[in-house]
A and B are shown apart, each in its own frame.
Chain A
Amino acid sequence: MSSRLNTSRAAAWGTALFASALALTACSGAGGGAGDSSADSGTITELTLATVNNPQMVDMEQLKGEFEADHPDIKVNFIQMEENDLRDAVTKDIATQGGQYDILTIGAYEVRLWQQNDWIVNLSQWADDDAEYDIDDLFPPVRTSVSVDDDLYAAPFYGESSFLMYNRDIISEAGITVPERPTWQEVAAMAKQVDTDDHAGICLRGKPGWGEGIASLNTVVNTFGGSWFDMDWNAQVDQEGFRKALTFWSETIRDSGEADPVSYGFTECLNLFTQGKAAFWYDATSAAGSVEDPDLSEVAGNVGYVHAPVVETDESGWLWSWNLAIPKTSQKQEAAWEFIKWATGKDYASLVGNELGWSRVPPGARLSTYDIPEYQEAAGAFADITKETMLSVNPEHPGVNPQPYVGIQFITIPEWQDLGNSASQVFAEVYAGRKSVDDALAEVQELAQKAGDAQK
């Protein structure tokens, strides 16, 4: 009997060890991969580029062969990530001087903060000397947002504001006319009218993460007369304007929004809308390129675009740009600039247009893009409104009240990433019906005050 027991015990341990080994193998699969260099890396400069997995960046990876053909001594490896993951990964890397990447895709929020910390390379040393690069052709508000003292610290790849998109079929079937400059109340009423089991009335972001969950909401807060801080950095989250905005946003999501708001950010709404399963969608102007591409979208050519809805302000779009920057830790800065020059240069628009389709050209970065006849024709539905909105927003004073920082859908302080993320999680509980608006605002007010105190 005892020998049998020994056998069974050995079998149990053996199986356990085997299973644990399998578990370890599975874990190691998750971590490996990046940063391999080929045998001939002595002659070829390999660049590692971290970027967000938005369609325009996916296109850039698809076209990188053109760059590599012109520059046989440079190879570019792309690491594509979701917005939240990208931000975490690159911030961690640069703040700890990790040096994993040679080119970073960073947003307008990071540029100024990172420049202050002396983390990114001044690109003007190359851009100013290169007449072909034509820095004056960059979209003025975007150029301002990535410059400090007129020096360029990141090269805009594309710029965007926000606007309201609608599915023409669904809207005209309901006998509705969407005004060119609607109010949020009008939009909520129209969305409710067209909401059915088959499609959502409107798709609004509710996914946690400051970039995902707070961007859209902040423009609503601004136009409802709310704000995060007063001029002395006292938190204003529990005040009337913010309360009205959050109440409106959560009620609209509940009444006529997508079914699973906590899962829905930009990509999810893009999928829903392009499948014809949402009547309205309030989001980035850069979405239009994908919405109008017949290969990607079932509603291409059938979408209307109007200004971001307002309540108390004249305009309520946001201002954002995705930019390419070189971390100071990179050992391959010259090669990195070569790639950035190609990807953000004047000719890139034509390359995308000819190779992949004109509606997929990255918008809002270069004025010359808007002079290309093919682009005007392909992007006629949304090009003008994008340009107009981007030139009419005011990042220094987007809301009703004055604010002590520059930024529309974000606050340019180091604590914002944390505050925005935490706040978005609290607000997600409101969308899910597990928390009241008042409780959520009281909780976020406390978090915001802590961040505000750090600025005093």
Chain B
Amino acid sequence: MQIKLGQNLLGANGVIAGEIRRLMEEKGIFLLNLMSSPGAGKTTLLEKTLTALKDRLRLAVIEGDVATTKDAERIARLGISVVQINTHGACHLDAAMVRDVLPAFDLDSLDLLIVENVGNLVCPAEFDLGESMKVVVLSTTEGNDKVLKYPLMFREADALLLNKIDLLPFTDFHLDELADDLGRIHPGLPRFDLSARTGEGMERWIAWLLAQVEGHRRR
């Protein structure tokens, strides 16, 4: 006997993501899904972003990590409420994992909730977390091939942060090649070239993010 299903393997995830999105709308919270490959410097970037925003917005963080709590501890030291999701080896967060930790936050007093996704450019692009926006972090030390290798990630992203521009002279990364590839995959994608370490270019990104969150709140 043959049973037709036509069921999306990620279908259940989409339903839960929809619930999260409705809840965030109701509470007026901007949910940011921050993604990158491992080693892109996402946690440092997040620390600097949180430091710049914490006097202007009410913030919280969901930290996705395969096994350790190191990154969550770094965020907690900033005095920001953070919950860690340990994926026990899974390479991405899914909507159910996010939903399950939401009760740990006071959702009535939040403006911006940032999910630091597990470092990986493949699977996180597949899983809708109910986010308001997806931002992908790429660093100059990773080489130019990432954009073409993982086009879905860069196609789905609402902004691209190119980190570690202070290291550009020491890498074979080419900004014009990046612009060319993005032009073919996601023309018009807002891009911020910055260095979380030196602070160069951070202001433009912070101002843009702040405008997104405020625009969302006014809707």
* Binding between chains A and B: no
List residues of B whose CB falls within 8 A of some A CB: none
